[in-house]
Amino acid sequence: MIELEGVEREERSMVTVFVFERHTAADCPARNEISGKIFGELGMKGQELCKKHGIKFVGAWILHPEHLIIYQYDAPSMDAYIQLEREPLMVKWRLFTDAKFKMGITMEDAMKTLAAAAIVIPAK
Ligand SMILES: [Zn+2]
């Protein structure tokens, strides 16, 4: 881990994980009995699994016409999020989805990190 002067450890310890998850029309949980059952189970146990790994489920957005779901989580680390993905229920769900994972930080945190790294953003 890179230590940045002037940035408190707690301020940098959370990572926001965005998951862009697609499924095919055939695998859509709204019409596929097996994926629908797994999706329903995730709905019931997802919060509990997140809690187990210290992860906060922020929300999910569903774009039905594209069979796309976008999730947002706040995780203590990317490793913690990877552990969530290794849960058997998540592995079962991934058999029906194509997921891409992106990390993000808030603009405020980005500015603090840039300031601590003495990177100057030129004014326009
Ligand atoms: Zn769908």
Kindly give the distance from the C-alpha atom of residue 101 to the centroid of ligand 1, in angstroms, as a whole number.
19
- pLDDT reported for residue 2: 47
Q: What is the pTM of this model?
A: 0.79
With CA atoms as reference, report the closest residue to 18 among 67, 55, 71, 54: 71
- Supply the pLDDT for residue 1: 43
The rounded Å distance from CA 65 to ligand 1 centre is 7
In the structure, ligand 1 is a single-atom ion and the residues with CB under 5 Å from it are: 28, 67
Domains and CATH numbers, the chain: 9-116 (3.30.70.100)
pLDDT in tens, the chain (124 residues): 445 555 554 555 689 999 999 999 999 999 999 999 999 999 999 999 999 999 999 999 999 999 999 999 999 999 999 999 999 999 999 999 999 999 988 788 888 888 888 877 777 7
Report the b/e string of 25-62 with b at 16+ CB within 10 A.
eebebeebeebeebbeebeeebeebbeebebeeeeeee
